[in-house]
Amino acid sequence: MASPASVAAVPPTGALLFDAAFLRRLEQLELLARRVPRGGRRGERLTQRRGRGLEFSDFRPYQAGDDLRHVDWNVSARLDRLFLKLYAAEEDVTVYVLLDASASMAFGAPAKFDHARRLGAALAYVALLKQDRVVLATFGDGPGTYTPALKSRRALPRVLTFLAEREAAGGTCLAAALRDFVWRARRPGLVLLIADLLGESAPALIAGLDVLRHAGHEVVLLQVLDEAEVDPPLDGDLRLLDAEDGSALVVSVDGALRGAYQARLAAHLRELEDYTRRAGHTYLRATTAIPFEDLLLRYLRGAGPLR
Amino acid sequence: MQFGLPWGLLALLGVPLIVLLYSLRPRRRDVTLSSVSLWQEALRERPRGVGWRRLLRDLELLALLALAVLLGLALAHPLWQRAAPPAGDVVLVLDRSASMQASPGGGASRFERALQVARAEVDGLAEGGRALIMSSARQPQLHSAFEADPARLRRVLEGLRPSDEAGRPGAALELALSLLHDRERGRVLFITDGAFDVDLPVATPALRVHRVAEDEPASVNVAITRFDLRAEVGNPQRWQVLLGVRNYADRALRVPAEVRFGEQPVWQRELDLAPGAEQTLVVAVDAALVTRAEARVLIDDDLAVDNRAHAVASVQGAVLVALYARDGRYVRHALANLPGVVLTEYDPATAQRFGAPDADAAAARPDVVVFAGVAPPRLAPGSYLLVDALVPGLPFSQTGEVRQPRISGSASSALLRGVDLAGVHIEAARRVQIAAGAEGVQPLFWSDETPLALTSIDAQRRLVYLGFDPGASDLPLRPAFPLLLAQAMDWLAPAADRQRSTQALAGEPQAIVLPAGLERLRVQGPAGVSEHAPRAGQVLFRDTGQTGFYRYQAGNLSGQFAVNLTDAAESDLRPRAAPATRAGDAGTGAQALGASEAARALRPLWPYLTLAALVLALLEWGLWCRGRTGA
């Protein structure tokens, strides 16, 4: 098992470096999957599905065709009926860490993408520590880039390398990217979607997220924004350039226009919140101004994805 | 505020041009955002902010516009009228014209009120301030220099009196303004009743007009505007009298009028005069020969001086002329036919003895001696006409001869009044040269080569010289010849009883020509007696400020003339000065400026506007630099 110190020395990018103390704190975390999808392998995660496992779970009446080896004879004798003993099956969860690598994620100082990569790396590490399978993917311009399913903490360097080699560039269509992901990811799991969710309208984003829901994934939506996107320090005659498609918008920005933009942003975010609440997804929004450790150890734990 | 150069405001047309150029200027900053979609949605909800609101938000543009406005205003030379401290020199110009004697409604006359204003100005002189007192009537008159002592100035004021003259304020005010030349913060205060029609000088901040007749009731005045008389030719017992009377009141008046010869009334009538109407009468009067006549309108109105007019009758007298001529038939013929000339011709051979003690006694007593073609050896004191003759001892001498001289110029002289010399052909003329430094010699007309006629006058002699034989020219065939000789006689023999002009306007100088040899002239008029020394044979008598009869005497010479107001504009007592004048203030001298309202000065604003424009230019430059660095 790789030590936290060696883990810290491996990645080439300084942005993904975690010190030993931080890693030890990560080891205490666990990703919560409220609806554990069907996993085919043994993991540290308890599943609510009845079946063979190491831990007694419950009884149920015998039905024709059940395995007689699971009949609990003591209970059956007592109740003068045949009952099967159920066991909690320890199954693994596939954690999909999906990272938006479009050009819009390059905005900000520090860039949102760097923040998102650190977040993705940290969440992947937590998952790997719990013997969950981790698949990382980035989507941006063109087909998404995926890692194979990674398991155990020994895969962390590969996680870090994968993330370090990614760049935020090009445009994106979330719905198309998620449909592509769902096609690839045969096994439902816990999807940690880290994106800014600004490049498309809320309905378009919702359509993409619905693809995940319909595919049986549990979705944790982590929206990363820059402070300048929330409260833009813009004024005067400007030509606004879209980082993804290069389109230009000539405006004269004043307080009224800024207010209108913020109102539109609030409506966009509210729509996303309403959807995730209806859909049962977990939604967390944070700006890059929040210290990364606070984000991970406080906000994400408080919002639910981590415990 | 007023503008000294209003056309400078045309520069403000640059303001919309600046806005246009500014709008066309590409100056948007590129900003890359993660996504512009929300901005697009925000824009749909409100306009893009172009137009005036956008412009107003642009500090740089506002600075440019303000800069253009300030420069445009500065070019228009704006002047701010403000109360000015009363320091500096002041020229007090008092109107002493005849209308200032009026007192419509009773009480103090206009001149007395003007003196009050002047006294208040003098008493209110600021420390270090000086005043000069002058008056305006027919001619401007200075009564003091710039004086800082109020007591002295008051004494000068106390010595002023209104005159009987018609006012001509323009010349006085121009003189007053010229006295302020190079004096900073100087001003002219013209104290007047405004009863004149003359345009005041161009409005200047230094000139203020104080009108003392602003609150008067309507005036009632009837004036004699014309008065003259002449004897019928050959009948000194019958006279023609010309009389003009005008009613300046706003109601009809019945006015008794009369004419007196000496103390004897010779004509009387009541005149019915409509408001503003004038009646001109020519009446025949049978009366004995007199020298003084007077016309009167018997009415107690607001101005008495124009209720009387005076005239001195003139009688044409004879001029005794002695002629010495060698073949001077043209001169002889012309002189013999001049009215009023008694010609006596003498043997030209006796000219050589002219002036000698044993010369013909009768020849020593003519008024004018004419030498035509013959010259005496000397000229005794007297008056002479030399025609193609030169005498030694004159201030000009012959230096040669000129063949066929062409008259190229003539002087403006009383001798040439009405004399047309154009195209006169002269066969030959004497070439003369005037001695250097000679005084009293004036060419009458000349060719390019020589004077052809001239006059000479000194204390002993009066002389008219014609430098060619009239018989060798076509001048005798022209009307110019007898006219020239007649006017030469008038000039050579200016005896008083031959003067035609018997009247003068009050304030007009009267020229009294003295025969040679007279050195002192005594004049007695309404103001008293004065004595004067002649210059160049005449006395220019200026003390005609009062109407009435003036008598003068010098040796055996005596004469008289009359002085009248007879000025229709001056008798109109209504204040009617230019709109720029303002009502007088009858207040006391409590203020430093005295009874008149506070002085006003026009302060040029262009320096301040230019300075503000400079500051804005620096601001705009700073904003531009800031925009370039992207701060």
B35, A247: Cβ pair inside 8 Å?
A: no
Q: For B48-81, how does the pLDDT look when each residue is reduced to its tens digit (9 = 90+)?
A: 545 555 555 577 778 888 888 888 888 888 877 6
- Residue B520 pLDDT more than 60? yes
Residues 6+ apart with CB under 8 A from A52: A70, A87, A89
Query: Facing residues of A133 across strands?
Result: A94
Q: For B459-476, how does the pLDDT look when each residue is reduced to its tens digit (9 = 90+)?
A: 888 999 999 999 999 999
**Nearest CB partner across the interface for B45, out of A237, A248, A260:** A260
* B141-148: Cβ within 8 A, 24+ apart: B141/B96, B146/B89
Distance from C-alpha of B242 to C-alpha of B145, rounded to nearest angstrom? 45
- Asked which of B87-96, B209-218, B500-509 is least confident by mean pLDDT, the reply is B500-509
Distance from C-alpha of B131 to C-alpha of B120, rounded to nearest angstrom? 12
A252, B54: Cβ pair inside 8 Å?
A: yes
**Looking up tokens 């905005």, which residue turns up?**
A107
Q: Look at residues B252, B314, B270 and name the one whose alpha carbon lies nearest to residue B289.
A: B314
**Looking up tokens 């109107």, which residue turns up?**
B95
- Residue B627 pLDDT more than 70? no
Instruction: Give the pLDDT confidence score for residue A2 in this predicted structure.
Output: 42
B35, A199: Cβ pair inside 8 Å?
A: yes
Pairing of the two strands A142-146 and B2-3: unpaired
Q: For B446-462, how does the pLDDT look when each residue is reduced to its tens digit (9 = 90+)?
A: 999 999 999 999 888 89
Residues of B in contact with A232 (CB under 8 A): 33
Distance of CA B138 to the CA centre of its chain: 7
pLDDT, mean of residues B114-119? 95
pLDDT, mean of residues B396-423? 93
Confidence of residue B265 (pLDDT cuts 50, 70, 90): confident
pLDDT, mean of residues A205-230? 90
Whether chain B has a CB inside 8 Å of the CB on A15: the answer is no
Distance from C-alpha of A295 to C-alpha of A285, rounded to nearest angstrom? 10
pLDDT, mean of residues B26-51? 79
Q: B37-45 vs A255-279: helix axis angle to the nearest 10?
A: 120
Residues of A in contact with B37 (CB under 8 A): 198-201, 242
Distance of CA B83 to the CA centre of its chain: 34
pTM reported for the whole predicted model: 0.43
Mean pLDDT for all residues in chain A: 80
B57, A226: Cβ pair inside 8 Å?
A: no
- Residue A11 pLDDT more than 50? no
- Residue A155 pLDDT more than 90? no
Confidence of residue B585 (pLDDT cuts 50, 70, 90): very low
Asked whether B138 and B167 are in contact (CB, 8 A), the reply is yes
Confidence of residue B304 (pLDDT cuts 50, 70, 90): very high
Instruction: Give the pLDDT confidence score for residue B307 in this predicted structure.
Output: 96
Query: Facing residues of A60 across strands?
Result: A84
Compare A59 and B381 and report the one with higher pLDDT: B381
Report cis status (omega within 30 of 0) of the bond before A110. Answer: yes
For chain A, the residue count is 307
A257, B43: Cβ pair inside 8 Å?
A: yes
User: And the tokens for B101?
Assistant: 């004697």
pLDDT, mean of residues A221-235? 93
Q: For B224-259, how does the pLDDT look when each residue is reduced to its tens digit (9 = 90+)?
A: 999 987 766 666 567 788 899 999 999 999 999 999
A249, B40: Cβ pair inside 8 Å?
A: yes
A261, B37: Cβ pair inside 8 Å?
A: no
The percent of residues above 90 in pLDDT, for chain B, comes to: 41
A241, B32: Cβ pair inside 8 Å?
A: yes
Instruction: Give the pLDDT confidence score for residue A142 in this predicted structure.
Output: 67
Phi, psi torsion values for B172, nearest 5 degrees: -65, -40
Q: Look at residues B342, B343, B339, B379 and name the one whose alpha carbon lies nearest to residue B359.
A: B379
Amino acid at A10: V
Whether chain A has a CB inside 8 Å of the CB on B56: the answer is no
**Nearest CB partner across the interface for A241, out of B30, B40, B54:** B30
* Residue B34 distance to chain A (closest CA, Å): 4
Distance from C-alpha of B61 to C-alpha of B18, rounded to nearest angstrom? 8
* Residue A85 distance to chain B (closest CA, Å): 56
DSSP three-state, residue B207: strand
**Mutate which of A113, A114, A245, A252 to test chain B, going by most B C-beta atoms within 10 A?**
A252
Reading across the β-sheet that carries A236-242, which strands appear in turn?
A248-253, A236-242, B29-33
* Residue A47 distance to chain B (closest CA, Å): 41
Highest mean pLDDT among A48-57, B110-119, B313-322, B602-611: B110-119
- Asked which of A165-179, B236-250, B265-279, B484-498 is least confident by mean pLDDT, the reply is B484-498
Compare A277 and A29 and report the one with higher pLDDT: A277
Confidence of residue B601 (pLDDT cuts 50, 70, 90): low
Highest mean pLDDT among A93-97, B162-166, B555-559: B162-166
Distance from C-alpha of A221 to C-alpha of A100, rounded to nearest angstrom? 12
Instruction: Give the pLDDT confidence score for residue B297 in this predicted structure.
Output: 96
Distance of CA A91 to the CA centre of its chain: 19
Q: Look at residues B209, B299, B199, B296 and name the one whose alpha carbon lies nearest to residue B248.
A: B299
Highest mean pLDDT among A70-79, A262-271, B28-37, B618-627: A262-271
Instruction: Give the pLDDT confidence score for residue B144 in this predicted structure.
Output: 94
What would you report as the CA-atom Rg of chain B, rounded to the nearest whole angstrom? Answer: 37
A229, B37: Cβ pair inside 8 Å?
A: no
Confidence of residue B11 (pLDDT cuts 50, 70, 90): confident
**Nearest CB partner across the interface for A198, out of B38, B54, B58:** B38
* Residue A152 distance to chain B (closest CA, Å): 36
A251, B41: Cβ pair inside 8 Å?
A: no
Instruction: Give the pLDDT confidence score for residue B160 in this predicted structure.
Output: 96
Q: Is B198 left (phi over 0), alpha (psi -120 to 50) or beta?
A: beta
* Residue A177 distance to chain B (closest CA, Å): 18
Residues of A in contact with B29 (CB under 8 A): 236-239
B39, A226: Cβ pair inside 8 Å?
A: no
Distance from C-alpha of A277 to C-alpha of B311, rounded to nearest angstrom? 125
Highest mean pLDDT among A30-44, B219-233, B357-371: B219-233
Residues of B in contact with A253 (CB under 8 A): 49
A104, B42: Cβ pair inside 8 Å?
A: no
Report the 10 Å Cβ neighbour count for B131: 25
B34, A252: Cβ pair inside 8 Å?
A: no
Annotate B314-340 with b (16+ C-beta within 10 A) or e (fewer): beeeebbbbbbbeebebbbebbeebee
B27, A237: Cβ pair inside 8 Å?
A: yes
* Residue A254 distance to chain B (closest CA, Å): 8
Distance from C-alpha of A78 to C-alpha of B240, rounded to nearest angstrom? 175
Distance from C-alpha of B487 to C-alpha of B494, rounded to nearest angstrom? 10
Instruction: Give the pLDDT confidence score for residue A176 in this predicted structure.
Output: 86
Reading across the β-sheet that carries B308-312, which strands appear in turn?
B264-273, B253-261, B292-297, B308-312
Whether chain B has a CB inside 8 Å of the CB on A252: the answer is yes
Residues 6+ apart with CB under 8 A from B357: none
A107, B41: Cβ pair inside 8 Å?
A: no
13-52 in B: which are within 8 Å (CB) of A?
27-43, 45-46, 48-50
Nearest residue of A to residue B25 by CA position? Answer: A237
Kind plus residue range of the DSSP H or E element containing B582: strand B582-583
Asked whether B510 and B539 are in contact (CB, 8 A), the reply is no
Residues 6+ apart with CB under 8 A from B470: B330, B331, B387, B388, B476, B481
Amino acid at A245: D
Confidence of residue B424 (pLDDT cuts 50, 70, 90): very high
* Residue A8 distance to chain B (closest CA, Å): 31
- Residue B27 pLDDT more than 70? no
Distance from C-alpha of A1 to C-alpha of A154, rounded to nearest angstrom? 6
DSSP three-state, residue B104: coil
**Looking up tokens 């038939």, which residue turns up?**
B329
- Residue B421 pLDDT more than 60? yes
Q: Look at residues B551, B523, B527 and name the one whose alpha carbon lies nearest to residue B292.
A: B551
Instruction: Give the pLDDT confidence score for residue B53 in this predicted structure.
Output: 54
B34, A112: Cβ pair inside 8 Å?
A: yes
Nearest residue of A to residue B59 by CA position? Answer: A236
